[in-house]
Amino acid sequence: MPRVPMEFRSTTSAVAPAVRSDLAPKGKLRAGINLENTLLAVKDPSSGEIRGVAVDLAQELGRRIGVPVEILTFETAGRIADTVKNGAWDIAFIAAEPTRSAEVIFSPAYVEIEATYLVPAGSAFRAIADVDHEGVRIAVAADTAFDLYLSRSLQHAVLMRAKGVIGAFNVFVADRLEALAGLRPMLISFVEKHPGLRLINGRFTAIQQAIGIPRGRDAGSGYLGVFIEDAKASGLVAQAIERHGVRGLSVAPKASFQ
């Protein structure tokens, strides 16, 4: 967690030029949004409008620093991370994943999402630990935060990667795999639509969603830390979750700055 300088610790004071320059170097706040995570943003099929918790936070951040907001959509979080080097965005709403921290500074988390496994109803797996055994194949959406986490933590089971959450589900079904890894709310939707499936109790991790900014923009990253903590404490994040009717999102705990 980056140390927050005193000049950034009030979200009500005038925004320092260095903050605005870091967050909106082109005069507008270009916010990268991951459309694969429908808990945080969705595209209206009729109007094409992008809406959701992440969009609300981007708009509020733009309002506070006094610049217009441009929402840039990406198919996956991995694609957002891949484009940081070419300056495609100024901030991005993605999971705070350690493997991305070499090029991205993350704000404190604003929400958490539990990740668990989906299995056939007749599976012998009852606990999270049951899944990590020899011969177990786990379908997973490639380059997601839970893919990266499992890649580090699994000792025996094998990950079978596919493009996107739907792609991973299709592989899970078609190849009769032992488990599908994913975010609990998304897996619940599969259970509701497909009888004969169930979730395993517990979680293998909680994915922390944060705002990323390219490394080297220290003034901007400091301001983002305060912005997120204020958004949580003031109820802005909770209100956005309620407004969009999202199930499975929890406001992240308060962060402590060092």
Q: For residue 170, give the CATH number of its domain.
A: 3.40.190.10
Q: Is residue 257 part of a domain?
A: no
pTM to 2 decimals? 0.80
81 within domain boundaries: yes
Residues 6+ apart with CB under 8 A from 151: 159
Q: What angle do CA 41, 46, 50 make, to 5 degrees?
A: 20
pLDDT digits (tens, 9 = 90+) for 102-134: 999 999 999 999 999 999 999 999 999 999 999
Report yes or no on 258 lying in a domain: no
List phi, psi (to 5°) of 18.
-65, -35
The answer on 139 and 69 residing in a single domain is: no
What's the mean pLDDT in 66-78? 94
pLDDT band at 256 (very low <50, low <70, confident <90, very high): confident
The backbone region for 69, taken as left when phi is positive above 0, alpha when psi lies in -120 to 50, beta otherwise, is beta
With a cut of 80, say whether residue 21 has pLDDT above it: yes
Q: How confident is the model at residue 208 (pLDDT cuts 50, 70, 90)?
A: very high
Range of the domain at 124: 113-205
Mean pLDDT of 226-250: 94
Give the pLDDT band (50/70/90) at residue 258: very low
Closest CA to 35 of 78, 76, 82: 76
